[in-house]
């Protein structure tokens, strides 16, 4: 398996964790006081077991994946923060309607980009590495290794603790083989924004999603 292919496979696994939270929202949302590393380990195991037990998810069935995503909100992901970080300073100039459109189009892009690689998930297991944070930290990185065929793959998560009862830790970025997802998309988004503002970015994302859907 080439490095590029392996990156695609395990980025899809990480994306599956993000979108998979929607399908298992009830039990996950109850763990507001759970430590961030314990949460990531549990979510990873739940997602792997869900994929391994569902043939339609393994084949990257878009309708099944999208139904999973759209069935509930994502209680363990701060997708607004993730989209804002990828959009950069222009996010603050976008209207509330444009911000919501950006979140919707970005989510669709991630799902459609990586759903097809879910068929590569087979015998993988997840090992959480020791935390490098102080007890009072409210912004942390949880580092994991995904083990299966070949060498272990680095898969890390940035989380922050959100205020209020029943909220707890939320994921807002992920790192596959040394590349953070937000860092991957930020220059692409900036190029479109520089060419024509938020409307140009929305147009480009919409067109890309339509192309992905058609193919």
Domains and CATH numbers, the chain: 3-214 (3.10.450.710)
pLDDT tens for the chain, 215 residues long, are 444 444 555 555 555 554 443 333 334 444 557 899 998 888 888 777 777 777 777 777 777 766 655 543 356 788 899 999 999 999 999 999 999 999 999 988 887 776 655 666 667 788 999 988 888 899 999 999 888 777 888 889 999 998 764 558 898 998 877 889 999 999 999 999 999 999 999 999 999 999 888 77
Distance CA 70, CA 140 (A): 28
Alpha helices, H only, 30-93: 36-52, 55-58, 62-71, 79-87, 90-93
Question: What is the model's pLDDT at position 57?
Answer: 72
Q: Which of 193, 174, 181, 170 is nearest to 89 (CA)?
A: 193
pTM exceeds 0.75, yes or no: yes
**Confidence at residue 159, expressed as pLDDT on a 0 to 100 scale:** 94
Cα–Cα distance between 57 and 63 in angstroms, integer?
A: 10
Residue 132: count other Cβ atoms within 10 Å of its Cβ.
10
């Amino acid at each position: 398996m080439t490095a590029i292919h392996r990156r695609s496979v395990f980025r899809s696994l990480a994306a599956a964790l993000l979108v998979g939270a929607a399908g298992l929202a009830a039990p996950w949302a109850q763990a507001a006081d759970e430590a961030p590393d314990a949460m990531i380990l549990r979510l990873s195991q739940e997602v792997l077991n869900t994929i391994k037990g569902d043939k339609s998810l393994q084949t990257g069935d878009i309708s099944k994946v999208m139904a999973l995503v759209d069935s509930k909100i994502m209680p363990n992901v701060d997708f607004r923060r993730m989209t804002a970080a990828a959009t950069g300073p222009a996010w603050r100039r976008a209207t509330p309607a444009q911000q919501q459109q950006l979140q919707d189009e970005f989510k669709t892009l991630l799902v459609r980009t990586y759903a097809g690689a879910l068929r590569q998930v087979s015998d993988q297991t997840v090992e959480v590495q020791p935390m490098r944070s102080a007890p009072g930290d409210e912004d942390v990185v949880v580092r994991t290794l995904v083990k299966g065929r070949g060498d272990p793959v680095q898969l890390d998560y940035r989380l922050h603790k959100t205020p209020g009862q029943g909220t707890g830790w939320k994921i807002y970025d992920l790192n596959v083989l040394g590349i953070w997802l937000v860092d991957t998309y930020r220059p692409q988004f900036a190029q479109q924004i520089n060419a024509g503002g938020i409307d140009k970015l929305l147009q480009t994302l919409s067109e890309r999603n339509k192309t992905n859907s058609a193919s």
